[in-house]
Structure 1
Amino acid sequence: MSRHSGTEVLRYTAFSADPEGGNPAGVVLDASGLDEAAMLAVAAELGYSESAFLTRQGGPGEAGARDGAGEPGEAGARDGTGAPDNAGAQDGTGAREYTIRYFSPKAEVPFCGHATVATALALAERDGPGDLVFRTPAGTVPVTVTREGAELRATLTSVEPDVLDIAPADLAEALAALDWPAADLDPALPPRIAFAGARHLVLAAATRERLADLSYDFARLEALMHRLDLTTLQLVWRQAPDVFHVRDPFPVGGVVEDPATGAAAAAFGAYLRDRSLVPGTAVLTLHQGEDMGRPGTLTVELRADDARVRVSGTGTRLGD
């Protein structure tokens, strides 16, 4: 554990058991004394694409995240002495329940998959594997942590997803910012905006070489993403029917590229199902971070009887 801006912070990498792979995240297990400015300061000092902050409902750092029914979520109930219950409130099913917020170095984001996985693994190492419920600004996200041999694996279940068209002019601007000719796109995977807690523009490259060659206009892409309320671009190349390589530019977060992006993986799973590009029930493998030297693996599960998307991966704690 290290201290940043006076706050105790755990550091984990998500979607890889190798400390040199996956996507690092800061995790603050008790952010009840932090306001938004303090959380942002910690995230900026860490410099990771996102950091996660657990807060008590109604505490100084709590903005009142709400569940899918619009009711305030509860995290960190107090015991009879008035002290915070660090094990988390119970939701009636036995799951430990928390409120969580996510900050990039530049701004708060509504949902972050890799920081969710990192936080779940940190809680599992402290309190043991099991079921968790995270109240996020985007809605309620259940997470289950299991032990597989020596490794812990976290599986998050997204909020209800959605897939939207993108206007031709906005698509042209995105391609211009990337310096990608339209002819380099894979026509079998048409561009769409996908949502599963945050909005991502899905663009499919026709070749692995096109995906590997990423050098974009940071300011131009950032401006477009702010206008369209996008969190990342989900750039993909399909290696096999159920295997994809992906990259995620993240200029709105002050980061050139995200090494492993759970929120975008969930949105991409919803996109594939919406376009009937995979079976209704499917398990997909996404490889991300290879072009950055931080390889990670994200597993995406679709179920025919559930519109939500499940994303799972391993992780490991990083040295202080």
Structure 2
Amino acid sequence: MIIQHIAAFTDGPTGGNPAGVVICEALPDAATMQAMAAEIGYSETAFAAPVDGAWRVRYFAPEAEVDFCGHATIALGAALARHERSGTFALKLNHADITVDGHHSATDWSASFRSPPTQTRSLSSAALDETLALFALSPDDLDPRIPPIVAHAGMDHPVIALRDRNRLGAVSYDFGRGQELAQRERFCTFALVHAETPQLFHARNPFPFGGVYEDPATGAAAAALAGYLRELAWPAQEPIVIRQGEDMGVPCCLRVDLDGPVGAPVRVSGSVRLIGADAQPV
């Protein structure tokens, strides 16, 4: 069993969202993986084992299993490239089969994944009202170009687009209320975003569902947002750049391509670096 600590979606040599990556000959039982994820302590840890020419992958937050995690997938793809070869790796998730491309060289360590299929569903007026109240937002704070919706690319993320960057930066919430809402509605993260330009977004992703106040980089939410923007025929040249984690002091950069028809997977890319005791020349 190989346990690695990798920051995904780094901003040059700094920042990035920490993920645990555990590569095994066979996956441990769920209780063991949950306990290991809690001990590792990151927002998610990816567990992977080879099976039938692919990799069986499960993701655990400190308090719950999640069906898909983007930044841990980036970390896993980069880890496989480093330890095996650069190339494309097939991943078998709980409810989807996807691929991740990992690249490792003397000058570049990065990965990109093709998300599960994207889709949206309406956000009920009651859930919207409760979400706005949670973050002390009003309907006047919302960007009318991107109406609130639940976007999905492996997990559900309510998308709340704000007119003002400063309002996004000032967001805070009561963790207990947020966790109760997220667990009741099965919201993986709350995708709070601001479109500075059609191609540049700023994002914050509270993650009380998994026991984490806020996630500094969220590839699954980025994929879900991109799928929604594609439905809206959003006027951007690709790729879209999402800046996240800056309000936490952990700058992260995610790149998302909008190619393909509505509902198709989207490609999410980012660089990585080793952290903690693992940090050494690669």
TM-score of the superposed pair, with normalisation by structure 2: 0.93
Structure 2 counterpart of 1:141: 98
Letter of the structure 1 residue corresponding to residue 168 of structure 2: L
Change (3 A) 1:160 1:45: same
Maintained 8 Å contact 2:160/2:191: yes
Letter of the structure 2 residue corresponding to residue 14 of structure 1: A
Change (3 A) 1:108 1:149: same
Measured in 2, the distance between the counterparts of 1:18 and 1:193 equals 31
1:170 aligns to what SS in structure 2? helix
Maintained 8 Å contact 1:31/1:53: no
Maintained 8 Å contact 1:17/1:316: no
Maintained 8 Å contact 1:138/1:198: no
Return structure 1 stretches of 4+ with deviation > 4 angstroms: 17-20
Which runs of 5 or more residues in structure 1 are unaligned?
Answer: 1-6, 56-74, 78-88, 90-96
Change (3 A) 1:236 1:31: farther
Structure 2 counterpart of 1:123: 80
2:110 pairs with 153, 160, 180, which one?
A: 153
Q: Does 1:229 align with 2:223?
A: no
Maintained 8 Å contact 2:7/2:75: yes
Which runs of 5 or more residues in structure 2 are unaligned?
Answer: 278-282
Larger radius of gyration between Structure 1 and Structure 2: 1
Structure 2 counterpart of 1:53: 47
Maintained 8 Å contact 1:19/1:317: no
Structure 2 counterpart of 1:195: 152
Letter of the structure 2 residue corresponding to residue 210 of structure 1: R
Structure 1 counterpart of 2:231: 274
Maintained 8 Å contact 2:27/2:47: no
Q: Does 1:34 align with 2:28?
A: yes
Maintained 8 Å contact 1:18/1:316: no
Letter of the structure 2 residue corresponding to residue 76 of structure 1: V
1:193 aligns to what SS in structure 2? strand
Structure 2 counterpart of 1:284: 240
Measured in 2, the distance between the counterparts of 1:223 and 1:31 equals 36
Maintained 8 Å contact 1:118/1:315: yes
Give CA deviations for 1:218-251 in whole Å, capped at 9, x if unaligned. 1212212122211001100001111100000000
Measured in 2, the distance between the counterparts of 1:177 and 1:31 equals 43
Structure 2 counterpart of 1:239: 196
Maintained 8 Å contact 1:19/1:318: no
Maintained 8 Å contact 2:260/2:266: no
Structure 1 counterpart of 2:208: 251
Identity level (%): 42
2:181 aligns to what SS in structure 1? helix
Query: How many residues of Structure 1 are paired with residues of Structure 2 in the alignment?
Result: 276
Change (3 A) 1:33 1:200: closer
Measured in 2, the distance between the counterparts of 1:139 and 1:195 equals 13
Letter of the structure 2 residue corresponding to residue 35 of structure 1: D
Q: Does 1:9 align with 2:39?
A: no
Give CA deviations for 1:137-179 in whole Å, capped at 9, x if unaligned. 1301111123576112211001111111111111000011111
Give CA deviations for 1:230-276 in whole Å, capped at 9, x if unaligned. 10011000011111000000001110000100000000000111122
User: Bigger shift: 123-132 or 178-187?
Assistant: 178-187
TM-score of the superposed pair, with normalisation by structure 1: 0.82
Change (3 A) 1:270 1:148: farther
Shift of 1:31: 6.2
Shift of 1:315: 0.2
Measured in 2, the distance between the counterparts of 1:267 and 1:156 equals 13
Give CA deviations for 1:283-307 in whole Å, capped at 9, x if unaligned. 1000001011110100000113572
**CA RMSD in angstroms, aligned pairs only:** 1.7
Letter of the structure 1 residue corresponding to residue 65 of structure 2: E
1:42 aligns to what SS in structure 2? helix
Shift of 1:278: 3.4
Structure 1 counterpart of 2:18: 24
Structure 1 counterpart of 2:38: 44
